[in-house]
A and B are shown apart, each in its own frame.
Chain A
Amino acid sequence: MSLLELKNVSKIYGDLHALDHVNIKVEKGEWLAIMGPSGSGKSTMMNIIGALDKATEGEILLDGEDIAKKSAAALTDIRRDKIGLIFQQFHLVSYLTAVENVMLAQYYHSLPDEKEALEALDRVGLAGRAKHYPSQLSGGEQQRVCVARALINYPEIILADEPTGNLDEANEEIVVEMFNKLHNEGTTLVVVTHNPEVAEVAQRTIVLRNGRVDHETVNENFTGKIKHITLM
């Protein structure tokens, strides 16, 4: 059984079909990249998979359970218990320190545990920056705090929406390396990206166009390492 399965999922806004009968499967422990031009439906799909939005029609099976018709409160529970979210713009709470931002996810999930939150920051190489506020951290460091926050509750799936969109090359490499590490530990990753370099690091890439799956590629030479294209 796939960890995540979308069956004929559509999202319709008036006359616009943001997603049009999409079928996708994501296996447990898989690293999937979703690509596509602007307006192709990437963010809509991300919101629907992330239980932030509801599909107009179709089934969304997460761990065998159809979440498509769940209430807003039930979707909140699903986000809290099963999904780790990483955003392009980091979205850290500005008045909480790095470790408190990680603990925020614990707070809503169960109980805040500072030791565990510090360990999560240590995993992303930020143990020394735990007491710093977001404004005192670089973009790359902020995104690593987001990664620590996303994985603190051991979610079944981590969804990252353009996780490297606001990062320079060096930080991009660090974040991708972290994803590789998480993948090696068995975490399921779905990464939405514009960046082909980031997409081709994944095991499989789905390309969306006009709300439909245009094509799908499997990375035969999967290493989990980013290969930067050097312009001559």
Chain B
Amino acid sequence: MKKRKMYIRMITASLLRRRTRMIIALLAITIGAMILSGLVTIYIDVPRQMGAQFRNYGANMIFTSAEGDISPEDVRTAVSVIPSEKLVGLAPYRYETVRINDRPVMAAATDMEGAKAASPFWAVDGEWPEEGGQIMIGKNVAATYNLKPGKKMTCSYLPEQEDVMDNYMDFTVTGILDTGGKEEDYVYMSFEDMEELTGESTAYDICELSVSAAADELETISQTINSSAPSLTARLIKRVTQSETTVLSKLQALVLLVTVVVLALTMICVGTTMTAVVAERRKEIGLRKALGAGNASIVGEFMGEGMILGAAGGLLGSVFGFIFAQSVSMNVFNSSIILMPWLVPVTIAASILVTGLACLIPIKSATKVDPALVLKGE
């Protein structure tokens, strides 16, 4: 029999012999590893999950131009910098003052699908405009003019040149926009209708973007856009990105704190169990020393038992950790978590490390066992 085989036989037999104690220690390590693995999964996946949640609160980046107008060409160049899977919505806007019943109202031309994606919190009573001649109006505008979905209305546009007659255009109201913000004072139409009404080709005044990325990544993206498309300026909407960062950092700090506390509790539990095991095995340790076992052998044997417990607990904890993270993710974010296979060896290694640290004090006391004292007669 090789020495290693005998070593493995000894430590496995010893673990099996103290089944109850070892199950308690294994349970503590498994719970610790589960919390570690689960919370690290959440810690890593939360920015993605939270990012998706924050996208519900509207755009987090805007394009403006110092020159006034932004050409669709520049927007296309700038947007090509953003990975397509991260671009949730792109809503370009052109603003003009129009008249309804001879009173001025701000009209915004936009891409309705883009606006819908970039501002999912917009509540529309009725429908979004889908074709020419349809208009969506803000709640305040609707109240002022007593308009409802399905009603007809006329908008006029007064060109700047004095010798040109006003343009008139009839619209059907499809929906009333309720946002709780300044959008309720606007009317929304397609770019084609705006062109027809104003008789001018439409460039964009501003572009709102909803990008699913963490604050750092957003900052990098905006810098890249600013250098690759100098005719426009990409800026982050700080109130959105900062609150996202604040919430995330607080959540991550909480996750880190819970993980540290649970690992500390695991260490205490394993340390207590191993201390009891060493106390129980004082005679056996004395015998081993009497037979010629050096301190290194004693340390190796107890550490070996700790390592096996740590590895087994780490493996079980990885499995339960994923289930735990999945359950948290489904309940809190209503979406499934991404499996991270690299986390299994990391959890096992962390469990072995924690178990090893927890075993240090009991093992030190094992090396201090005096064989002459523990083996003496009755």
In the complex, what residues of B have CB within 8 A of residue A113's CB?
1
With A47-B372, A91-B375, A113-B1 as contacts: A52 and B290 at CB distance below 8 Å: yes
Quick check: is A100 within 8 A (CB to CB) of the other chain?
A: yes
In the complex, what residues of B have CB within 8 A of residue A149's CB?
291
Output the residue of B7, B297, B376 with the most chain A CB within 10 A: B376
Quick check: is B237 within 8 A (CB to CB) of the other chain?
A: no
Binds A, one of B8-16, B43-51, B152-160: B8-16
Please, which residue of chain B has its CB at the minimum distance from the CB of A100? B9
In the complex, what residues of A have CB within 8 A of residue B378's CB?
88-89
With A95-B14, A113-B1 as contacts: A108 and B293 at CB distance below 8 Å: yes
In the complex, what residues of A have CB within 8 A of residue B290's CB?
50, 52, 79, 85, 91
B226 to chain A, nearest CB (A): 69
Other-chain contact of A162, B5, B283, B377 (Cβ < 8 Å): B377
Mask of A47-58 contacts with B, CB within 8 angstroms, 1/0: 100101100000
Cβ B16 vs Cβ A95 within 8 A: yes
Interface hits, B349-375 → A, CB 8 Å: 371-372, 375
Cβ B375 vs Cβ A105 within 8 A: no
Cβ A87 vs Cβ B291 within 8 A: no
With A76-B294, A95-B16 as contacts: A104 and B377 at CB distance below 8 Å: no
Cβ A96 vs Cβ B3 within 8 A: no
Size category of the B interface is: 20 to 34
* Inter-chain residue pair count (beta carbon < 8 A): 84
With A43-B377, A95-B17 as contacts: A112 and B288 at CB distance below 8 Å: no
Please, which residue of chain B has its CB at the minimum distance from the CB of A85? B290
Cβ A165 vs Cβ B377 within 8 A: yes
Cβ B3 vs Cβ A93 within 8 A: no
Q: Using A73-B294, A79-B292, A91-B375 as known contacts, list a sample of 13 further A-B pairs with CB atoms less than 8 Å apart, ordered by residue number in A.
A: A53-B372, A87-B375, A88-B377, A89-B375, A93-B284, A93-B287, A95-B13, A95-B14, A108-B292, A109-B292, A111-B2, A112-B1, A162-B377
Interface residues of A (CB under 8 A from B): 43, 47, 50, 52-53, 73, 76-77, 79-81, 85, 87-89, 91, 93-96, 100, 103-105, 107-109, 111-114, 149, 161-162, 165
Can you show 18 pairs from A to B with CB atoms below 8 A apart?
A43-B377, A50-B290, A52-B290, A76-B289, A79-B290, A79-B291, A79-B292, A88-B377, A91-B284, A91-B287, A103-B1, A105-B291, A105-B292, A107-B6, A108-B288, A108-B291, A112-B5, A162-B377
Which 7 A-B residue pairs are closest in the complex by CB-CB distance? A80-B292, A95-B17, A52-B372, A108-B292, A47-B372, A53-B372, A95-B13
